[in-house]
Amino acid sequence: MPTSLKLLFEEIHQAQDEDGLRSHLAPKIGEHFAAKRSGVFFFDQLLTDQKLQNVLTIALSLEHNPVARYLAEHHTPIHEGLVTTPKAWKLICPRPDHWHVMAGPIVDRGQLVGAVGCTREKSMPAFDTQDLADLSAICLHLSVWTATVRFAQIATPKPQHQLSSTKQLTPRELQIANLVALGRTNAEIGNELWITENSVKQALKRMFRKLGVSSRTEMVAQLSTTQLHFSSPK
C-alpha cells in the first residue's frame, strides 16, 4: 500500500538534518509513487561527495537533460513525457530503469537548492498528472523544511574559524566561488564575469592558498557552511 502524503509530510518535518531526510524519506517517496528508484538530492552535498558527482554532471546536466533544464527554469515538478519524446529520451537516458523519470524542486528563498527524483522501468506505467500534483505537495513541504533548517543554521553563531574563511575572500572571489559551486568551468566563469580564463585560474590559485585547500571540491565544501548560496542558472 502506498505511503500516504500525510505520513510523508510528517516524515519531512520530523527530520533533524538533511542526511537523515535523504536516507529516511527517499525510500518512502519511492513507495508512494511505486518507483523503481527514488532520491532526495541537495546540490551542495553532491558537490562535496565524489560518489555523487555523476548525478550532478550527467543526470542533472542542464545542457543534455530537458527534465533538469525545465526544473531549473520553472521550479515546478516535471516528467520526461512533457518535455521530450520516448525516442529522444532513450538517447538522452538509455538506462532501462530510467525509462520514466519525474523530478521536483527543493527551493530555498527563491533559489533551487535540491531536487526529488523518481524513476520507473519501461514495463511500468508512466508518471501522470496526479503524480505531479502529489510531488508538488511533497516539494512544497520539503522547501519549507529546508528554508527553516538553513535559516536556523545561518542564525546560529558560527565558530570563528569558519567565519574567517569567507572574510579572506574578496567580493569578486566569492562570485567565482559561487560559480564554481554551480559547476561552471573556468571558461564559463570568465565569460559570465567578463574576465579572461587565465584570470579565473589565477584567482582560484589565490583562493586555494587563502583557504588552505587544494581543490575546487574542498573549497566549495568549506564555503558552503558559511556564505555560498546556490541558485539556478539564468
3-state secondary structure of 77: coil
Contact 70, 78 (CB under 8 A): yes
Q: Measuring CA to CA, how many Å separate 125 from each of 34, 70, 78, 81, 160? A: 10, 22, 16, 12, 53
Q: Classify domain 160-223 by CATH architecture.
A: Orthogonal Bundle (1.10)
Residue 53 pLDDT more than 50? Answer: yes
Residues in the chain: 234
Enter the CATH code of domain 5-155.
3.30.450.40
- Give domain limits for the chain: 5-155, 160-223
Q: Which residue has the higher pLDDT, 213 or 48?
A: 213
Residue 84 pLDDT? 93
Closest CA to 60 of 108, 111, 115, 19: 115
Which of 14-23, 79-88, 110-119 has the lowest average pLDDT?
A: 14-23
Q: 101-131 pLDDT, tens per residue? A: 999 999 988 888 889 999 999 999 999 999 9
- pLDDT for 193 equals 84
The CA-to-CA distance between both ends of the chain, in Å, stands at: 41
Is pLDDT at 12 greater than 60 in this prediction?
A: yes
pLDDT over 70, % of the chain: 81
pLDDT at site 140: 94
**Average pLDDT, rounded, for the chain:** 82
In the predicted structure, residue 158 carries a pLDDT above the cut 70: no
The runs of H, that is alpha helices, within the chain are: 5-14, 18-32, 43-48, 53-54, 66-74, 86-92, 129-155, 160-167, 171-181, 186-193, 197-211, 216-223
pLDDT tier for residue 42 given thresholds of 50, 70 and 90: confident
Query: Looking at residues 15-35, what average pLDDT do you find?
Result: 89
d(C-alpha 119, C-alpha 85), whole Å: 16
